[in-house]
Structure 1
Amino acid sequence: MALKPTIFKFIISLSDLDRDYYDTLHLTVAQHPSESLERMMARVLAYCLNAREGLVFTTGLSTPNEPDIWQRGLDDQLLSWIDVGEPAFERIKKASRQAREVKIYSFNQKSEVWWQQEQAQFKRLPVKVARFPWPAIQQLASLVERSMVCSLSISDATLYMAAKLGEAEIPCIELQG
């Protein structure tokens, strides 16, 4: 019998001062059995940084040909492809031909090494790449509850999360814009 995902419910009061975007997000996030809390929270942050109508979580890890988050137009054209982690160059090259916008958010301990190795290739592609520092993601993951109400403020590419169990400050470092 296959393991089932763990379901998390978030109510996030989002104040994105960088984009003048304000909303209350009601997110239901399925954590894949092989996914860490840190990766799941990096997905939530990526969603919040790009929040807009039509943006959805995909089946992600369960379906290798899909990003973690995407937005499709009314004509089913792929508008945004958002990956979390350290994807292979070929995957992103293909995505950049399919979607109008491609973004990558790396977040873990190997993120810097991955970027040093892949940077030259990614520079040839019209993609945006950012990194969340690993210690900040670990701090954020320590605040997670299965059902949580929190606030997230984004200012000068820094995310400030306040939740019942504490607060976290997560810089979003632009590597390629």
Structure 2
Amino acid sequence: MAIGATIQTFEVQLADVDRGVYEDLSLRVAQHPSETDAYLITRVLAYALEFEEGIIFSAGGVSTGEEPAVMIKDLTGDILAWIEVGAPDAARLHLGSKKADRTAVYTHREPAKLLASWKGKTIYQAQDIVVRSFDPRFIDSAAKELTRRNTMSVSVTEGQIYLEINDTNLETEIHQHQIG
């Protein structure tokens, strides 16, 4: 018998000063058995940092052939934002960039290696895709704090993220990278 997804809950207080977004979020997030805690925390942070009306997690938790890990749709079902997590291949970025108005990648991987893997590959409007990364120690420390029920405070100001997760305080710069 296959093991199903584990449901993690997150009570998130979001204060993104840089974007003027202030929300209290209650998230039930399915963690696929193959999904690492580092990927999960990066996915939840991507959701918080991209939060706007119409944002959703993909059905399977991890990116599938048809959907990114996180996306934003309008009321008609059109995809406004295709948000990948981890280390998507160039073909996925190409597909997402063609399907959505904007595309972003949030990675817990080494960004230089990720960018190098896309070099010379065809990616639609690659110059418009923003790649964001965090200090690996930040993601690893946050992942160690995960439980089935999580409380988080996410504050963003001047490109710096301040995270309180289950009474542990962490901070890092949000690094931005361009493809090409």
TM-score with structure 1 length normalisation? 0.91
Distance 2:44 2:4 in 1: 20
Distance 1:164 1:88 in 2: 33
Distance 2:118 2:38 in 1: 22
> What runs of 5+ residues in structure 1 fail to find an aligned partner?
none
Task: Summarize the alignment of residues 91-170 of structure 1 with structure 2, pairs less than 5 Å apart.
Answer: 91-108=92-109, 110-119=110-119, 121=121, 125=126, 126-170=128-172
Q: Structure 1 residue runs of 4+, over 3 Å off?
A: 119-124
CA offsets per residue over residues 54-104 of structure 1, 9 Å max, x none?
101012437332100011111211111100011111111111111001101
Deviation at 1:128, TM superposition (A): 1.3
Secondary structure at 1:61's aligned position in 2?
Answer: coil
Say if 1:103 and 1:129, in contact at 8 Å, map to a contact too.
yes
Distance 1:24 1:176 in 2: 31
Distance 1:76 1:20 in 2: 25
The number of residue pairs the alignment matches comes to 176
TM-score with structure 2 length normalisation? 0.89
RMSD: 1.9
Task: Summarize the alignment of residues 6-155 of structure 1 with structure 2, pairs less than 5 Å apart.
Answer: 6-59=6-59, 60-61=61-62, 63-108=64-109, 110-119=110-119, 121=121, 125=126, 126-155=128-157
Say if 1:8 and 1:29, in contact at 8 Å, map to a contact too.
yes
Say if 2:63 and 2:69, in contact at 8 Å, map to a contact too.
no
Q: Percent identity?
A: 31
